[in-house]
Amino acid sequence: MQIAAKPSDENLRLKTLFSYDILDTDGEIVFDELTQLASEICDTPIALISLVDPDRQWFKAKVGLDVSETERDIAFCSHAILQQDLFEVSNALEDERFADNPLVTAGPEIRFYAGTQLVAPNGQPIGTLCAISDKPKKLTDKQKKALTILGREVIAQLELRKTMLSLAQANQNKTDFLSRISHEIRTPLNAIIGFSDILIERESDYNLPDEAAEYIRHISFSGKHLLSVINSVLDLNKIEAGKMELANEVVILATFLRDIHGMLASEAKKSGIELRLDLADNLPATLSVDRSKLAEVLVNLMNNSIKFSDAGQHITVKVSLSSNHEICFEVIDEGIGISAADQAKLFSKYQQVGNHQRGGTGIGLCLCKGFIELMGGTLHVQSEEGKGTHIKFYLGQGAASTKITEQRNPNKQLIASSLNVLIVEDNPLNQMVAQALFQSLGCIVTMAATGEEGVSLATEQAYECIFMDIQLPGISGYQALQQIRDAGVDTPIIALTADVFSSDYLKEGFDGFISKPMERAVLINVINQTLQSHQ
């Protein structure tokens, strides 16, 4: 038996093979089908995609063979990768290189072998696509050509697979980066927004001068605006990753729309723009929808119209019932309009259209479109440069009905007075914000700076609710949660985190979660819901 020599550039060949990250991976249908096709074209019972590593040949796909690898020294493919042309052995018993080869003298009793190199773009042969039979034979010229073409297709699929893996890794790297950046930005924002809101709420207690109070309101507004920009980027990323979920609830449609209109009408008026609201008489009283996402869409569209309109113009927000009983939302303005060229890139990420001096991040409309499609709707834009823009979208009624239900009215205070809470938070500024915020709600607060300290306090003393940061020095919030539960403590534990990408808090055993920066109303609702469900 003749053992094949190693290629002269074996190190580069192996480096190329390893770059595909494919050895010892599960079967994939595209490679299985190419192997099946090779078997049928060559009329052989066995066909393989064989990749030759330092010690063995490993089969990415196989037909007619049970084993997944053989030693490299006895592999026919070790000879095939040395040949530029298709390597064919018509009768192994009559070939001195293979007559006493274990693969010939024992199973699978190879007699015929034909293998075409799998040549990477850099010219390195990483393996073969081969056809094998236990009977002597020869391929026709057409069969040889077809097998060679299939070999090129195997490489093309390997290259495509490598590209997809690279893109998936790049996307994961982007997500990880955004998650880290979000965490790093949200942590100081929690202090900026938290402290400024506390000062605004207790303005009279501090006897602040009017000018100082105005500065604080500007700080709060700017912090919340920065937070909204960050949230928009993260939401867009979640939509693209398929991780965005809907939280539908029944809203009283007219009240919901009037609230949004009222919030923005005063802002429009400051710019000399009239914001009109036109509600059809036959609208359903209620609508089952994700309130926050629909509100964000409408606010974004109205703000865009305000931004691109001039003093003396008016904007109409029209809501009606379509002929197929969908609810049609329209925002119509007389602003600067959008050119045909800009309309083509209107929903592209991070691209601004029109006058850049009017501001914006270039993600608003892209996010609106994503939210609307997530809610099962469609978005349409009509615009003419210099004459204005007409944007409309349709949503199904969902659980809408003509019977008015009790209006959603979030609690403005905790359902339990003097709530005894434990807060596990390592950041000193966030500790101060949390202490002030929870105490303003009438809570009795105990603070822990590490997961270990939190576990010790939670297992030694009784609390009505525990708030747990996730990224802690020492053990993480997840580990602290598990240790508390292992100790038999069933106190509700709410995750307190600046990482908005992870949606596994409930699956990991937390009873709820709150994103930083903490909003007073959200905090109250989460605590109340958690306590009610824990009763």
Q: Per-residue confidence at 259, pLDDT binned at 50, 70, 90?
A: confident
* HSE, side-chain direction, 13 A CA sphere, residue 388: 14
pLDDT tens digits along 330-361: 999 999 988 887 877 677 654 555 554 444 44
DSSP class per residue in 460-476: HS--SEEEEESS-SSS-
- Angstrom CA distances, 238 to 169, 187, 241, 371, 428, stand at 16, 21, 5, 11, 30
| pLDDT, average across residues 258-286 | 91
- Angstrom CA distances, 429 to 11, 47, 246, stand at 55, 66, 33
Confidence check: pLDDT of 407 > 60: no
Confidence check: pLDDT of 149 > 70: yes
- CATH topology classification for 420-533: Rossmann fold (3.40.50)
Confidence check: pLDDT of 127 > 90: yes
DSSP class per residue in 332-383: E--SS---HHHHTTTTSTT---S-GGG---S-HHHHHHHHHHHTT-EEEEEE
Neighbours of 91 (CB within 10 A): 17
| pLDDT, average across residues 213-237 | 79
pLDDT at 226: 81
- Angstrom distance (rounded) from CA 75 to CA 266: 80
- Angstrom distance (rounded) from CA 511 to CA 17: 48
Q: Cβ distance 177 to 76 under 8 Å?
A: no
DSSP state of 5: P
Q: Per-residue confidence at 404, pLDDT binned at 50, 70, 90?
A: very low
| pLDDT, average across residues 383-389 | 90
The percent of residues above 90 in pLDDT, for the chain, comes to 55
pLDDT at 340: 80
Confidence check: pLDDT of 410 > 50: no
| pLDDT, average across residues 88-110 | 96
Confidence check: pLDDT of 63 > 60: yes
- Angstrom distance (rounded) from CA 205 to CA 217: 16
pLDDT at 397: 78
| 107: three-class secondary structure by DSSP | coil
pLDDT tens digits along 178-195: 777 777 788 888 888 888
- Angstrom distance (rounded) from CA 41 to CA 31: 15
pLDDT at 234: 75
Class of domain 249-396: alpha beta
Highest mean pLDDT among 144-153, 331-340, 381-390, 435-444: 144-153
Least confident of 72-76, 131-135, 158-162, 399-403: 399-403
| Higher pLDDT pick, 480 / 107 | 480
- Angstrom distance (rounded) from CA 122 to CA 118: 11
Class of domain 168-241: mainly alpha
Ramachandran sector of residue 398 (left: φ over 0; alpha: ψ -120 to 50; beta: rest) = left
pLDDT tens digits along 365-381: 888 888 899 899 988 99
pLDDT at 166: 92
| Higher pLDDT pick, 469 / 170 | 469
pLDDT tens digits along 304-338: 899 889 999 999 999 999 988 899 999 999 999 88
Element holding 50 (H helix, E strand):
strand 46-52
The percent of residues above 70 in pLDDT, for the chain, comes to 93
Confidence check: pLDDT of 27 > 80: yes
Domain positions in the chain are 10-166, 168-241, 249-396, 420-533
Confidence check: pLDDT of 128 > 90: yes
Q: Per-residue confidence at 210, pLDDT binned at 50, 70, 90?
A: confident
The b-or-e profile of 328-359 (16+ CB within 10 A means b, else e) is bbbbbbbbbbbeeeebeebbeeeebbbeeeee
Q: Which residues pair with 466 in a beta bridge?
A: 422, 493
- Angstrom distance (rounded) from CA 305 to CA 363: 15
Q: Per-residue confidence at 43, pLDDT binned at 50, 70, 90?
A: very high
- Angstrom CA distances, 370 to 216, 245, 282, stand at 34, 12, 28
pTM here is 0.58
Least confident of 19-28, 69-78, 87-96, 404-413: 404-413
CATH of domain 10-166: 3.30.450.40
The mean pLDDT of the chain is 88
Q: Where are the alpha helices (DSSP H) in 141-251?
A: 141-201, 203-206, 210-241
Confidence check: pLDDT of 196 > 60: yes
pLDDT at 339: 83
